[in-house]
Amino acid sequence: MATDARGLTTEVAVRVRDLHRSFNKDGGVLNGLDLDIAPGEFVALIGRSGTGKSTLLRALAGLDRDVAGHGRITVPEQVSVVFQDSRLLPWKRVLDNVVLGLRGPDAADRGRNALEEVGLAGRERAWPYQLSGGEQQRAALARSLVRQPQLLLADEPFGALDALTRIRMHALLRKLCAAHRPAVLLVTHDVDEAIVLADRVILLDAGVVRTDVRVELTNRVRSDAEFARLRTLLLDELGVDEEARR
Ligand SMILES: Nc1ncnc2c1ncn2[C@@H]1O[C@H](COP(=O)(O)OP(=O)(O)OP(=O)(O)O)[C@@H](O)[C@H]1O
């Protein structure tokens, strides 16, 4: 358990201290990064291409054992990861994909419930190729949530989906997170997606957190003045020019 500046106990789901990662001798990708995520907190991670977002996510997921670096990482016991592609095994039916590696006599029931929660009831015996891209991502979310993760790591999970499906997936993810309350770290290129979904948006630059803003919105719609203020602030930080902002 961690303590704050006053010595009071603070609970964290994720604690990262002085994290360094590099792929070659020319320079670091992560350069002394610090980050805390509270239990149940939804953090969106944005930043220009190549600033180390996926490198951070992989470090938290423990998927970077062959990368040079040091620093302290604390994550909860149950961590689930979703990627841009669903990574469903094509030779297993949807339910078998969802419960893969899950133990216990109630595994199949838990899998069915998870599929129902993501709107895929009745598709348990389908093969992955029979699902649309959005449905495959729903199945990937079901596979993550059935493990009741305390931390959900998501690397551009909606990046390959069309605009309408993305909006539907935003609503679904918000509903699932409200129900299960995992801490979430979502990597996205989409500033609007970050503001629609997250409690906090952090911006990575040169391998450290440069901006860290809290999203306090009652209505998560673009027409909200606070939404517009955050959007402008983050796009300014990203150096996006006026032309490209619509
Ligand atoms: N396995 C690897 N081997 C060598 N270099 C790598 C490897 N993985 C990432 N890099 C480099 O590390 C830097 C950060 O990559 P990373 O994928 O973390 O960035 P990112 O912020 O997620 O980028 P993007 O937004 O384009 O997905 C890049 O310069 C990339 O080329």
pLDDT in tens, 141-165: 999 999 999 999 999 999 889 999 9
pLDDT at 82 over 60: yes
Nearest CA to ligand 1 atom 16: 52
- The conformation of residue 110, written as its DSSP 8-state character, comes to H
Among 101, 86, 177, which residue's Cα sits nearest to residue 140?
A: 86
- Tell me which of 21, 24, 51, 188 to substitute to probe ligand 1's pocket, judged by most ligand atoms within 8 Å of the beta carbon: 51
246 falls in which pLDDT band (50, 70, 90)? low
Query: Nearest 5 degrees, angle CA 35-CA 22-CA 12?
Result: 15
Q: Are 89 and 81 in contact (CB under 8 A)?
A: no
For the segment(s) 2-78+150-245, the CATH number from 3.20.20.70, 3.50.50.60, 3.40.50.300, 3.30.1360.40 is 3.40.50.300
Could you give phi then psi for residue 46, rounded to 5 degrees? -120, 175
Range(s) of the chain covered by CATH 3.40.50.300: 2-78+150-245
Can you say how many angstroms the Cα of residue 108 is from the centroid of all Cα atoms in its chain? 26
Residue 54 alpha carbon to ligand 1 centre in Å: 7
More confident residue, 158 or 1: 158
What average pLDDT is seen over the chain?
91
State the Rg of the chain over Cα: 19
Query: Nearest 5 degrees, angle CA 190-CA 232-CA 170?
Result: 30
Ligand 1 pocket member 23 (CB < 6 A)? yes
Cα distances (angstroms) measured from residue 135 to each of 82, 147, 165, 224: 14, 19, 9, 30
10 falls in which pLDDT band (50, 70, 90)? low
Residue 62 alpha carbon to ligand 1 centre in Å: 16
Q: What is the mean pLDDT of residues 54-70?
A: 90
Among 238, 225, 147, 236, which residue's Cα sits nearest to residue 188?
A: 238
pLDDT in tens, 185-216: 999 999 999 999 999 999 999 999 999 999 99
Nearest CA to ligand 1 atom 25: 49
Residue 52 alpha carbon to ligand 1 centre in Å: 6
pLDDT in tens, 91-125: 999 999 999 989 888 999 999 999 999 999 999 99
Stated pTM of the model:
0.92
Residue 29 alpha carbon to ligand 1 centre in Å: 8
Ligand 1 pocket member 47 (CB < 6 A)? yes
pLDDT value at residue 218: 84
Residue found by looking up tokens 């929660």 in the block: 117
pLDDT value at residue 193: 94
